[in-house]
Structure 1
Amino acid sequence: MRAAGDGGLERFCSPGKGRGLRALQPFHVGDLLFSCPAYAYVLTVNERGNHCEYCFARKEGLSKCGRCKQAFYCNVECQVCIFINPHKQATRLPRPVQSQSESSQTSVNTWHSLARPEGGHAESVLGAGALEAAGLGQAQEAGCMETMGHLVRGKEDWPMHKLECSPMVVFGENWNPSETVRLTARILAKQKIHPERTPSEKLLAVKEFESHLEKLDNEKRDLIQSDVAALHHFYSKHLEFPDTDSLVVLFAQVNCNGFTIEDEELSHLGSAIFPDVALMNHSCCPNVIVTYKGTLAEVRAVQEISPGEEVFTSYIDLLYPTEDRNDRLRDSYFFTCQCQECTTKDKDKAKVEIRKLSDPPKAETIREMVRYARNVIEEFRRAKHYKSPSELLEICELSQEKMGSVFEDSNVYMLHMMYQAMGVCLYMQDWEGALRYGQKIIKPYSKHYPLYSLNVASMWLKLGRLYMGLEDKAAGEKALKKAIAIMEVAHGKDHPYISEIKQEIESH
């Protein structure tokens, strides 16, 4: 089955993997294989005011919805689009969603969110009457109308923000559905008003998603039941729900097939469903990479791909050794990877490098330290929700001190805690401390990750911006150019992020 307009690819039955995506023509490094608009998406609550709710553009001077005063838009056009045309592409999950960075999800913050001045949000307001001013309002519900060059049939359109706008006003501070619940609500709304196949489903329809329902343990089933209850609680007045069993299946599908949308520093922006992108199978040595231009997913080659070759992406952070990667894959996606990286384990020794001592540590000592490292990573993940930055930094420093008695600094468990410490330093505006950690991280990152890794690019980007902020222009420019070299392959040379970084270099 071939996608219209994407003749170089086809859906096929991949031996031992089920459905997959296969190349019908050669693709070279940096080539765009295909792009996929989001079937449904939500901006994360933490980025409201920094990014447009509709197109995800990051800019100053956003205008907020006059009713709920929580959603922000570039202008009336973006607000209108999210109400009447949720499929229009603009220029730009608590449980498993496909993300480039495991470590980025656990960092305290990123440079961008810290560098913004306090109170930098615009005070301009798109009032509740903004839609009427644009020629919408009651006309939307009455029938057909024409606005902004689009002929829109009212009964087919669903005001996506309206799903949340009124409830946010009603619930006030008690409005707290998870991102997965918010995304699932939008999927249900989309299915109701757009039951036919969408441009996001050229090769794979949402209804075809795997749920792996039979593989869920009791804990995961309980979490889904909690999500179902939250969906009813927050959206019952605005959505028609299928039966509970169908909702359980849908949540399971979202958990296995959802994506996190991330910015150039791998900071979490939101969650989305990209059906055709979800068709790709996983490999720990992928030949493509997924990046985002607003709410559009783009898939580019990071290796040479020959006709007949399967197209693989990575579902997880590739920093960690084989056992850790497969533990994550089994827990989140219910399979064990059999790629070359996993069968040979060639990189595992370097990833878990042991300190060279006159009296080498015994095998049991190493195993105990690996167990400690995994435990402290989980402890830190939980501690972020209730400990202060200084307490978090102490966890990082003490764990590094303990692990450092056995592990080299290039050991991935050491790197994980260094990355967390860097995030805490950024949050505390300790730029010199963040820079010191980044300088320790970048060389082993470049060794452990694939050649065109977004994790490496984002670290060069952080370092470059830190150098620039600390008035070391030469080092900053060098680091930013290293980030650009990777991003031109991963994001494409015309991506707005690259233009922004080049402007940063020129402005210093």
Structure 2
Amino acid sequence: MENVEIFESEGKGRGLRAIRESWAGDIIFAEPAYSAVVFDNLSHSVCHSCFKRQEKLLRCGQCKFAHYCDRTCQKESWANHKNECVAIKKAGKAPNENIRLAARILWRIEREGSGLTEGCLVSIDDLQNHIDKFDEAEKGLLMEDVQKFLEYWPSQSQQFGMQYISHIFSVISCNGFTLSDQRGLQAVGVGIFPNLCLANHDCWPNCTVIFNNGNHEAVRSMFHTQMRIELRALGKINKGEELTVSYVDFLNLTEDRKAQLKKQYYFDCTCEHCTKKTKDALLLAVKDGEDKPEERVVKEVIQYSKDTMEKIEKARSEGLYNDVVKLCRDCLKRQEPIFADTNIYMLRILSIYSEVLSYLQMFDDAAENAKKMVDGYLKIYHQNNAQLGMAVMRAGVTHWHAGMIEVGHGMICKAFAILLITHGPLHPITKDLEVMRAQTEMELRMFKENEFVYYKMREAALSNKPFQVMKEPNSEPATNLFHKKPQEAKS
């Protein structure tokens, strides 16, 4: 932690400040998890040590619950799993992820104490819990978790008071960080990273946080573990400047972002973009000029879009993708004469539409709509936003599949430039992109030399390749930086 220090930021309490200059892509600090667990529904398909998704995992022979890539992962996880293994075996089944994470934290405190650990700027005891801001429903759910925890917690382990246990659960609720798989495509778990918890929110931050599963030896040797989070600079950061991250996706109207931050993180955002409502005009933009629609018509199409989104989410959850295509197509017919290309309601439909069309291997239509989506995103997102980079990458791959090699290669190069900054050159997704960039560059040279030969070779290659269904579209919304379990998902 040589690059940062804690300071009292005006109106926000504690924050992190840079003590030396940084540039885009620099790792300001990297931090291993204080404690982390795999989500309940992925416990059999994600390694409980490095959090990578694997087709075949080794199962713990004692508790039958924990799964690992190999003996190395199992050995590295043993200190955290030892007590858990006995408790799960005795209970007969594993409790929910919140209880498992709280137990792992308290077992670590039992081993090491609750003071500052090596490399940490703040102790678990000093992390904010916001219990005083919980409403009655949240307090009730907290007490349910505490009661279930007490039923799970072994009598031979150190006993903690109800108030302290409640503090741990509330820290998890307010500060738990969402962990992703090795390619950043799926949320797979939740962990506590004390230093990261000190970084304040800004809707237009100067840093991004990336989960790195440690796919290179430098990470293993540095942390004796296979996963860490990295705080990376998105641009030049001057010495003494506050380091900020965004807790929510910027692709929302100011009032929606503020409401989400207030509900989930208990503060009123006063960042410049919220104060000035920057980009709201773009997110609500309609066609201009002689054909500018009436306000009444705009309201009708917005409501139609919201109603359609509900129908789309229902169809997606049931796997009815042809229905999703029809709903998106009908909605776009209503939207396109009314909305500008940056309108948030149209961008949301375009995102789902292009993704589902790709899944159904309707690549030409998918590419056309992905291009419209990316054109809108580029006017809204920060130039080095990780979600922008992922969206441009997906659009580039879609164009590649459609045989639109020139546009596809350009998008893949653009995505690579963004993800080099947000993820770094050693992250698996960046390595994948580097391979794609080299492949599309080779194909583009072939295309420019002789288009006819290129398409003939492409046709021959595709005809000899077995039909493959693309990865099923993700029905979950984009994950936020910090994990907060929905109330209805508690068990």
Equivalent of 1:39, from 17, 34, 38? 34
Equivalent of 2:396, from 455, 464, 489? 464
Shift of 1:287: 0.8
Find the counterpart in structure 2 of residue 272 from structure 1. Answer: 191
Find the counterpart in structure 1 of residue 382 from structure 2. Answer: 450
CA change 1:77–1:24 in 2 (3 A) is same
Structure 1 residue runs of 5 or longer lacking an equivalent are 1-5, 87-157
Find the counterpart in structure 2 of residue 210 from structure 1. Answer: 128
Aligned to 2:2, the other structure's residue is in SS state strand
**2:231 pairs with 1:299:** yes
Find the counterpart in structure 2 of residue 111 from structure 1. Answer: none
Find the counterpart in structure 2 of residue 483 from structure 1. Answer: 415
Aligned equivalents of 2:43, 2:436: Cα separation in 1: 24
CA change 1:417–1:228 in 2 (3 A) is farther
CA contact (8 A) 2:3 2:29 kept: no
CA change 1:418–1:195 in 2 (3 A) is farther
**2:147 pairs with 1:224:** no
Find the counterpart in structure 2 of residue 439 from structure 1. Answer: 371
Equivalent of 1:257, from 175, 196, 213? 175
Shift of 1:356: 3.6
**2:7 pairs with 1:12:** yes
Higher mean C-alpha deviation, range 385-394 or range 452-461: 385-394
Find the counterpart in structure 2 of residue 162 from structure 1. Answer: 85
Aligned equivalents of 1:310, 1:267: Cα separation in 2: 30
Superposed, 1:186-201 pairs within 5 Å as 186-197=104-115, 199=117
Aligned to 1:77, the other structure's residue is in SS state helix
Aligned equivalents of 2:379, 2:267: Cα separation in 1: 27
Aligned equivalents of 2:177, 2:117: Cα separation in 1: 17
Equivalent of 2:203, from 284, 289, 292? 284
Shift of 1:405: 5.8
CA change 1:421–1:45 in 2 (3 A) is farther
CA contact (8 A) 1:180 1:254 kept: yes
**2:259 pairs with 1:330:** no
CA change 1:360–1:483 in 2 (3 A) is closer
CA change 1:330–1:436 in 2 (3 A) is same
Aligned equivalents of 2:159, 2:2: Cα separation in 1: 37
Shift of 1:275: 0.8
CA contact (8 A) 1:265 1:462 kept: no
User: How big is each residue's C-alpha offset from its partner over 1:1-57, in whole Å with a ceiling of 9 and x where there is no partner?
Assistant: xxxxx3332101111110011112211222211111111112235555654321124
Aligned equivalents of 2:328, 2:154: Cα separation in 1: 43
Shift of 1:78: 0.8
Aligned to 2:383, the other structure's residue is in SS state coil
Q: Which has the higher contact order (CA 8 A, sep 6+)?
A: 1
CA change 1:407–1:18 in 2 (3 A) is same
**2:58 pairs with 1:63:** yes
Read off the aligned partner of 1:418 and give its amino acid letter. L
Superposed, 1:302-321 pairs within 5 Å as 302-321=234-253
User: How big is each residue's C-alpha offset from its partner over 1:446-465, in whole Å with a ceiling of 9 and x where there is no partner?
Assistant: 21111111111111222333
**2:21 pairs with 1:29:** no
Shift of 1:486: 0.8
CA change 1:470–1:360 in 2 (3 A) is closer
Aligned residues: CA RMSD? 3.4
CA contact (8 A) 1:329 1:337 kept: yes
Shift of 1:310: 0.9
Aligned to 1:299, the other structure's residue is in SS state strand
Read off the aligned partner of 1:162 and give its amino acid letter. C
Read off the aligned partner of 2:138 and give its amino acid letter. K
User: How big is each residue's C-alpha offset from its partner over 1:141-169, in whole Å with a ceiling of 9 and x where there is no partner?
Assistant: xxxxxxxxxxxxxxxxx52762686379x
Find the counterpart in structure 2 of residue 112 from structure 1. Answer: none
CA contact (8 A) 2:51 2:180 kept: no
Find the counterpart in structure 1 of residue 273 from structure 2. Answer: 341
CA change 1:438–1:68 in 2 (3 A) is farther
CA contact (8 A) 1:283 1:312 kept: yes
CA change 1:270–1:27 in 2 (3 A) is same
User: How big is each residue's C-alpha offset from its partner over 1:423-443, in whole Å with a ceiling of 9 and x where there is no partner?
Assistant: 444555655554444222111
CA contact (8 A) 2:47 2:69 kept: yes
Shift of 1:81: 1.2
Aligned equivalents of 1:379, 1:221: Cα separation in 2: 33
CA change 1:201–1:395 in 2 (3 A) is farther
Superposed, 1:114-129 pairs within 5 Å as none
CA contact (8 A) 1:351 1:412 kept: yes
Equivalent of 1:354, from 281, 286, 292? 286
Aligned equivalents of 2:361, 2:57: Cα separation in 1: 25
Structure 2 residue runs of 5 or longer lacking an equivalent are 214-226, 441-491
CA contact (8 A) 2:84 2:104 kept: no
TM-score (norm 1): 0.73
Aligned to 1:190, the other structure's residue is in SS state helix
Higher mean C-alpha deviation, range 478-487 or range 19-28: 478-487
